Amino acid sequence: MSGTVTVLYFAALRERVGRSREVVSLDGVMTVGAMLMSRRDNDAVLDAVFSGPGTVRVAVNKILADFEAPLHDGDEVAFFPPMTGG
Amino acid sequence: MSGTVTVLYFAALRERVGRSREVVSLDGVMTVGAMLMSRRDNDAVLDAVFSGPGTVRVAVNKILADFEAPLHDGDEVAFFPPMTGG
Amino acid sequence: MAGLHSEAEASLRVLVQESPFDVGTEMACLLAGSIHIGGLGSFLGVVRGGNGLVALSLEHYPGMSEQMLTKLASEAIRRFALCGCTIIHRFGRLLVGEPVVLVLAAAPHRADALDATRFLIDRLKTGAPFWKSEEFSDGRCRWIESRVEDEEAAAGW
Amino acid sequence: MAGLHSEAEASLRVLVQESPFDVGTEMACLLAGSIHIGGLGSFLGVVRGGNGLVALSLEHYPGMSEQMLTKLASEAIRRFALCGCTIIHRFGRLLVGEPVVLVLAAAPHRADALDATRFLIDRLKTGAPFWKSEEFSDGRCRWIESRVEDEEAAAGW
């Protein structure tokens, strides 16, 4: 899959990653999980954060998804901890 | 038991009895039930109302009671239908 | 968490009145009473229209109504971990859409606030000396009968 | 009575904002929408003090938060016989005692109004992209972890 996706991080995950947003080239990867794996291989901080304890939730285009979700050019992928609203 | 009690009627019961309040001489009666029986013997309207269908609730001195409750000079006795607040 | 706040610590406000009340003011008043409040549950009962209903007329037993509502509020404070609660019940002639009753329950946690709100309104329906008469557009008036479901809801607590 | 009002008929209002809201205005707005309302349930969540807490900072996912709250409100209208409901959720830095979230549910009958109120706040706690960080008087900040009880309450519906 060619093209790019925008990746967002929220809350504790945003703080640990050290940024709230980045644009990532898809480089042939097909899913959220594959994209994240490829990013972790190239970014030690990201790898450490995602190896750490705590559940990570994913949304694609503002809809809750999972790591098997397919990605397309222009998608917005968000990673965040369990939600604590109210 | 000598003395008097004030008798109050509320809501549908008040309308059927035709008054909201009366002072009743105790004339030796000891309980709410006995007082009411004596009143019904002397008042055809009251007798008809209390023979009619529908539950009647009683309070003595603004506290829910029953027909066995004792009466004393100066007590306030209230008769009313089941409560429908809220 | 029940029993966290004794009756003496928790605030309790009961009003029986003909005039309207202001929900925002009542909430602010209750919230000002404690920094430990995390949730405020409320129920507002209003005159429901339909079937030609024009107004409700509410009669009450002055003195006894305040006393029964105060007892009810005290019981809520005993049963739930509340910081305070408020009950305001109106009487007189109220038009469709007008507020009749307000129940507020404030607590550190939402479950207590919401449980207490429901307890208060369920018990109040059959446990305080108020009676409602319906007035219709054709001039008919009719006393509302007590409902079995209301008796059951009150007894369920 | 579920399904009495279709989604099209029932009013639905969702706001995500930094600024305060006025509960009285919101209630009046909802009540004005239908003469069939007999009961209005509400829950107001406020920043609970204690243990040196000074403020909560709420972060949200703009766009997704509104979308999830709107979905939630629609589900409440599908599940309960409502005339309408309102959800307002604030974000940003909020001091102890400040309102965070407001849920309103209006229905012909009180059981639907109160059930829907509880459903909305239970689901909202874990089902909308908001995250809370606690700020203490000694300067410490700490992200609030999701609570098992909240997950269970949400799953119970």
Domains of chain C by range and CATH? 11-155 (3.90.1170.40)
Q: C111 or B53: whose pLDDT is higher?
A: C111
Q: Does a structural domain hold residue A29?
A: yes
How far apart are the CA of B25 and the nearest CA of chain C, in angstroms?
22
Return the closest-CA partner of residue B4 out of B75, B84, B82. Answer: B75
Q: How confident is the model at residue D22 (pLDDT cuts 50, 70, 90)?
A: very high
Write the single-letter amino acid at C40: L
Residue B85 lies in a domain: no
First to last CA, chain D: 18
- Name residues whose C-beta falls within 8 Å of residue A27's C-beta, 6 or more positions apart in sequence: A2, A38
At A1 the pLDDT is: 63
* Domains of chain A: total: 1
CA distance A78 to chain D (A): 9
- Judge whether A85 lies within some domain: no
Residue B79 and residue B40: Cα distance in Å, rounded? 14
pLDDT of residue D107: 98
Note whether D51 contacts C: Cβ–Cβ < 8 A.
no
- Residues 6 or more apart whose CB falls under 8 angstroms from that of D124 comprise A85, A86, D69, D72, D87, D89, D101, D103
Chain centroid offset of residue B41 CA: 14
Rounded CA separation A55/D131 (Å): 14
The stretch A37-44 carries a mean pLDDT of 94
Angstroms from A63 CA to nearest CA on chain D: 7
Neighbouring chains of A at 3+ CB pairs within 8 Å? D
Domain harbouring A47, CATH code: 3.10.20.30
Segments forming the whole domain that contains residue A74: 4-80
Q: What's the whole-number mean pLDDT along residues B46-51?
A: 94
Cβ burial B53-82 (10 Å sphere, 16+ → b, else e): eeeebbbbbbeebeeebebeeebbbbbbbb
Q: How confident is the model at residue C2 (pLDDT cuts 50, 70, 90)?
A: very low
Q: What is the pLDDT of residues C74-123, one digit of tens each?
A: 999 999 999 999 999 999 999 999 999 999 999 999 999 999 999 999 99
* Mutation choice for D interface testing from C118, C120, C125, C137 by most D CBs within 10 A: C118
pLDDT digits 0-9 by tens, A62-73: 999 999 999 999
C-beta of residue D82 within 8 angstroms of C-beta of residue D8: no
Neighbouring residues of B20: CB distance < 8 A, sequence distance ≥ 6: B8, B9, B10, B14
In a domain, B86, yes or no: no
Query: Tokens for D140?
Result: 């410490």
Find, among D82, D38, B80, D81, the residue nearest to C100 by Cα.
Answer: D38
Residue B9 lies in a domain: yes
Q: Name which of C16, C17, C57, C59 to mutate to probe chain B: the one with the most chain B Cβ atoms within 10 A of its Cβ.
A: C59
Interface of C with B in 84-103 (CB under 8 A): 89, 100-101
What phi, psi does B51 have (nearest 5°)? -85, -20
